[in-house]
Chains A and B, each alone.
Chain A
């Protein structure tokens, strides 16, 4: 099976709070800890978690917007995070693109739509200068904005949220990437519009054999588009596996909690969700032990002592839990 992007042991620590120069023993926020997964062509992988889980940070590291504290992102065998020469970086950027959450914020308010799509074309020399306008129109048509010449001349504030996201997708497609990182692309859109964007993603995946990373907190939309599921909690991957398998038989207690919390009109009685007084920072200077222990209905003594490893408890499905996916030596 070929691989588009191979993420290995990606870690990101931020110094939490304050003093740059004189910090000694400054607190470290473990935004992302030891995350590994693979993105494959023609596959949509959902990265699911609540805010603060680190999922957006992972996407941004893949987009080279943050430098990882450790770990590697392998593209065509080379670690993209270590690239220093402009040529290498530009090559990576022509293959890995990103769509952002806020449809209004991701477009420059004082520039036309054409500008946004022309720039990547010109930077990477995708087409000769004379062909730029035609390619812009082609891309706008691909994402459903027709007639393209009308849209190309508009400014972002003249478009609706859904239309702006389509422009963002067209911009990402301009460089003909093999990987698209979609960071909550529909969470700020109206409900009836989300489906349109999700369908567009599915179509692009099919037609162009793209690899997508779909970051979201909405499990239902993750199920709709994605083939693989990665669940993150407090900076770690706590469960991963094929979508339907994980949804039918979730291993990790957090996954089960998520599933029970999604509004489902067909449901009757529910698990009582016990409120927990959590501090707002995720894992600041975490100690050994499972990070979910305070909220876990299945916690046993070892859960507070030893951090569980990601263990393949069923075929292709792994979880990080001493109880449901115990390691060999437990």
Chain B
């Protein structure tokens, strides 16, 4: 069997269920003396129950900040300046600390990029589960350990490993441990923040396949934050592309891959050299991401956009002056770009 034997198989879109998470015009700022930096600039996002939503972008685009905002774990000097984060219709920004504590991990949980950031190196795995469970419910230590064991088994780790320390496990196993922790209280939405970036490609696939199986069994929604767009095209149902704090394109995964409309998305997609097919010189995207303390005027991508040329006349003036708004171009496909006309 060779790489070329694969065929393209189309996957029917997921049936849209109830709205679980909604971000409305969310704004997150970092306040430093003398400067206010807008990391997330008026974004709208919707995640439905059972859906895998991929949020893609490069470093500095605001995707991780968005994930932290949803879980309400932003730390000074970051704060939500305006907008709403609605979980099942209720605005999280109106909630008290106690209510948020209840919400975190039960309704929404998170899998972090580096397990070693999430795991305490001096505690055994089992004890960390116990700590976490007992913070949320009244449960005896013995029972939590038993539950920890079954959670480990669920992610494919021998339950006797509750007695191990984090450093005794391989990178892949550690990542599975924090997945198990994120699923411990059966949340409805799991946020994955670059969960496999530090792992090699085979382990990455193992873990994501296992995660997919768990999702089918336990039925939760996923917000998958990563810079690896090729991964999202495979695993996500819908994808949102973030650039400089804004969402510039949203579509079903297959549609995005087949017909990306935003020049940044197109540039991103062409940054992955092909493993099969003809080998061509690629260009990536010239320039660098903007300084969010002083972003470009108008369309933030315009300094790097191949379609923004001084001889463009009226279009060029628009690109420099006016910020494009997300508009629907085909069913479920939204783009924020002056070049694109909305569907009538």
Contacts and interface: CB of A to CB of B under 8 A. Distances in A.
B8 A190 contact: no
Contacts of A258: 201-202
Contact of A50 (B200, B210, B267): B200
Nearest to B208: A263
B6 A195 contact: no
Interface string B224-262: 000111110110000000000000000000000100000
Interface stretch (B17-25, B138-146, B278-286, B306-314): B278-286
Nearest to B304: A192
Interface string A168-194: 000000000000000000000011111
Interface residues of A, number: 47
B272 A279 contact: no
B122 interface: no
Contacts of A219: 201, 275
Contact of B231 (A162, A195, A199, A263): A263
B260 to A, nearest CB: 11
Contacts of A279: 170
Interface string A246-276: 0111100000111111111111111111010
Contact of A268 (B1, B6, B173, B228): B6
Contact of A196 (B7, B228, B284): B284
A160 B284 CA distance: 16
Chain B contact surface mostly: loop
A316 interface: no
B81 interface: no
Contacts of B272: 191, 220
Contacts, number: 127
B228 A50 contact: no
B267 A192 contact: yes
Given A191-B271, A265-B257, A273 B158 contact: no
A179 B267 CA distance: 32
A273 B208 CA distance: 10
A85 interface: no
B281 A272 contact: no
A224 interface: yes
Interface string A47-62: 0001100000000000
21 contacts: A190-B59, A191-B58, A195-B282, A199-B283, A217-B200, A220-B272, A220-B274, A221-B273, A224-B282, A247-B275, A249-B2, A261-B202, A261-B205, A262-B275, A263-B205, A264-B3, A264-B234, A266-B8, A269-B6, A273-B202, A280-B170
Q: What are the nearest 4 A-B pairs in CB distance?
A: A268-B9, A195-B284, A280-B170, A265-B233
